[in-house]
């Protein structure tokens, strides 16, 4: 199989290629900010270890899943050693509640 080296390609596949790009090349003039929102929950790994782990992943084909292994899982694993995503929400009514309720959908083995 051929894999396209773009983020959107991974949404339609169960695999993705890890690529290296300069931030300004990816943003195309859009604004950005650093959001290490889990720093209060997990201790980040030392910067040199994060960089080393990240460089080892470039050009690798990785498993991709919107629910169990998306880009947020990937970067949090590199930064904290914990593959966690806070983006995964699904509208599922808990038993006995109204259909408008929301519940967090967690992957198996999640610590939350």
Domain with residues 15-80, CATH architecture: Alpha-Beta Complex (3.90)
Dist. CA 99–CA 94, nearest whole Å? 8
By CB neighbour count within 10 A (0-12 exposed, 13-18 middle, 19+ buried), where does 75 fall?
Answer: middle
CA 8 to chain centre: 13
Q: By percentage, how much of the chain surpasses pLDDT 90?
A: 30
pTM score of the predicted model: 0.65
Domain-by-domain residue ranges, the chain? 15-80
Res 33: pLDDT: 85
Between strands 103-104 and 89-90, the pairing is antiparallel
**pLDDT per position as a tens digit, 36-63:** 889 999 999 999 999 999 999 999 998 8
Cα-based torsion angle of the residue sequence 67, 76, 108, 99 in order, rounded to the nearest 10 degrees: -50
């Amino acid at each position: 199989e051929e894999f396209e080296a773009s983020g959107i390609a991974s949404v339609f596949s169960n695999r993705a290629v890890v690529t290296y790009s300069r931030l300004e090349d990816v943003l195309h003039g859009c604004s950005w900010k650093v959001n290490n929102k889990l720093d209060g929950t997990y201790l980040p790994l030392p910067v040199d270890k994060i960089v080393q782990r990240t460089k080892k992943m470039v050009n690798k084909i990785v498993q991709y899943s919107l629910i169990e292994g998306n880009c947020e899982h990937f970067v949090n694993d590199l930064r904290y050693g914990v593959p966690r995503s806070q983006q995964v929400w699904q509208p599922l009514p808990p038993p006995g509640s109204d259909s408008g309720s929301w519940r967090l959908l967690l992957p198996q083995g999640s610590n939350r």
